[in-house]
Amino acid sequence: MNALFGFGALALAILLDASGALAQNLAASAPSVNYPPTERVDQFDDYHGTRVADPYRWLEDSNSPKTRAWVEAQNKVTFAYLEGLPYRKPLKERLTKIWNYEKYGIPNREGGRFFFTRNSGLQNQSVLYTAAKLGETPRVLLDPNALSKDGTVALTGIDITDDGRYLAYGTAASGSDWQQWRVREVATGRDLPDVIRWVKFSEASWSKDGKGFFYSRYDEPNAAGQFKDVNYFQKLYFHRLGTPQDQDVLVYERKDQKEWGFGGEVSEDGRYLVINVSQGTDPKNRIFYKDLQNNSDRVMELLPGADAAYTFIGNDGPRFWFVTDKEAPRGRLVLIDTTRPLQLQEVVAQTDATLQSADIVGERLFLRYLKDARSQVKVFDLKGKFLSEVAFPGLGTVTGFSGKRTDSETFYAFTSFTTPTTIYRYDLPTAKSTVLFQPQVDFDPGEYTTEQVFFHSKDATRVPMFITYKKGTPRNARHPTYLYGYGGFNVSLTPTFSPANLLWLEMGGLYAVANLRGGGEYGEDWHQAGTKLNKQNVFDDFIAAAEYLIAHKYTASEKLAIGGGSNGGLLVGAAMTQRPELFAAALPAVGVMDMLRFTKFTIGWAWVSDYGSAEEREQFQALYAYSPLHNLKAGRRYPATLVTTAQSDDRVVPAHSYKFTAALQAAQAGEGPVLIRIETKAGHGAGKPTAKLIEEAADRWAFLVANLRMQLKF
């Protein structure tokens, strides 16, 4: 889930000490900043006849002593600034109190046992538990917090054998995408000797007999380039329990296709290995399969054309169900008989809502849709006859509804901007939901409201946006507002609870989420409308969202901040360079800022399906026109900016943020500070310890309080 941030009461009363000292108004003035010098070099590149300067190229070498010294100097300035903000400490204290509530994951049942995660409140990582029955005292099966002293080793994935005997689990250190997989005996909690290394972008899938599992990996990288070098030639393997990794069986590779990635999934009946063949982040994929009852090594190419997106749902013998956008940009459910000439038999047709996923549980089909970025779940029989729609408590996001063909129950989670993730049990015979776990958080959700509005972008496209705020907030254009967006890679932004966002609401802030083109809210057409040569549509949508908030007197430019991470960091960088006067503050996190060189590092090449490539003349022109790094202009007044990144980010390498910060510090003519906050033991965001999440969120809000000139009571 995305960790977004938010607040609502115009004044937040927090006791500064246990003696009951009187609250006092803290001034929102910010400390002055003296930036450390950043060397410029004479580096130029030729792109199709256009000479492009890259004076901070040396910052791409994250291992060099010079870059490390720059990181240390920038962090020194940034943390001196943040520590000088008088409200930073009480914000962190209040956020810690809000964050301290029990959190449960959705239960999964294997071999007659339940498996689920739980976090007691402030644990850095959630703990995996198991129990014979729900409601009885569970037993700790795996505690990631015991794997490191600072909580920076995270659980990245699990798979359990059908008989519930073995757990395969992946871990990652310091936020890296690199994973190690191990095997734990469920009954004893003891790890077997098996260790699988150099796994990235892969889950594990056990064979039906529980004697081994399928996984994908890359070749061992050069030590010096482990977090920087490009990742090509992923391979699919089978690991047999009790054997060393160098004896794992190579199931499939393509020496002629360096960009292909493979994900192997064993069908519920154990007969087939279904292989998802992807190429970067392009949603169009291929589907191959292998008959595991056949001793042949032959892999069958079922859907080899990469003409659409296909997601395997389940099978009846040789008949496979898929969710696909083939001839249905908003998705439909089809059946393919692998024994006959390829033909897609429609089971559930496309509707006006976007089909996100489907599961087969208890001989029923559970289809999860998005209707204007809000969750709907509909139930069908296996022939596609509509049975019922699952009722939810309001506008929100739903996940779950997985299980087996023989199950009579399934579980799901519901959340919204003001509803912490609540776990439900769904009884199939009665089609009724009951609350299994409802967290208790230190706030009153009845004090807040979320509305959905629709605005028109530059080209008149109608775009939705959620706005959350404290009930009774007047429209007077004075409210600090945090506008968040993403707009890419078919990712949908839906209502999600965040303790950090709640704090922003308590502070009197408005929290707005715009559902921009490039996302998946309205299917593949909506996604494609924000990619490659159409990418400017995403920025136009975001700018139009800001203009709507101002025109309708939710806020004003001097009270408006924007934020986003990863592709959303690019969004913030592009918006603030195209319309710097529109925003008072910007929070770009782990952003893709150099749109001409992103393909040079780790998995960056995989984003060409969304961004295009500077190697193509027309695409270069589009990229160069919005690339945040290349569109900063000396002498302009840019918003106050807090860039956040991490040294171990091997998804969007930190050089993007380093170079952008150096260039922005040099260009800034306004009074707003330009700072970069660099985590030294973190990555792109996944698995970040709770303590670091709280610290970073408190720093972001403290930065906004100062630069939006908010007056808070503490």
Strand partners, 131: 114
Dist CA 556 CA 86 (whole Å): 25
Contact indicator for 599, 611 with CB cutoff of 8 Å: no
Dist CA 82 CA 535 (whole Å): 34
Dist CA 324 CA 314 (whole Å): 13
Q: Which of 416, 566, 609, 627 is catalytic?
A: 566
> 3-class SS at 403?
coil
Dist CA 87 CA 281 (whole Å): 41
Dist CA 416 CA 405 (whole Å): 30
Q: Give the CA count within 13 Å in the CB-facing half-sphere of 292.
A: 22
Q: Give the CA count within 13 Å in the CB-facing half-sphere of 641.
A: 29
The backbone region for 245, taken as left when phi is positive above 0, alpha when psi lies in -120 to 50, beta otherwise, is alpha
Active site residue 566: yes
DSSP letter at 636 equals: B
> Which amino acid belongs to residue 169?
Y
Cβ neighbours around 292 below 10 Å, total: 18
> Which amino acid belongs to residue 399?
T
Question: Containing H/E element for 154?
Answer: strand 153-160
Q: Scanning the structure block, which residue is given the tokens 């807040």?
A: 448
SS3 annotation, 653-671: CCHHHHHHHHHHHHHECCC
Tell which residue, 515, 220, 482, has the closest CA to residue 397: 515
Radius of gyration of the chain (CA): 25
Contact indicator for 534, 625 with CB cutoff of 8 Å: no
Strand partners, 126: none
Q: Scanning the structure block, which residue is given the tokens 């009884």?
A: 427
Q: Would you name the residues annotated as active-site residues?
A: 566, 684
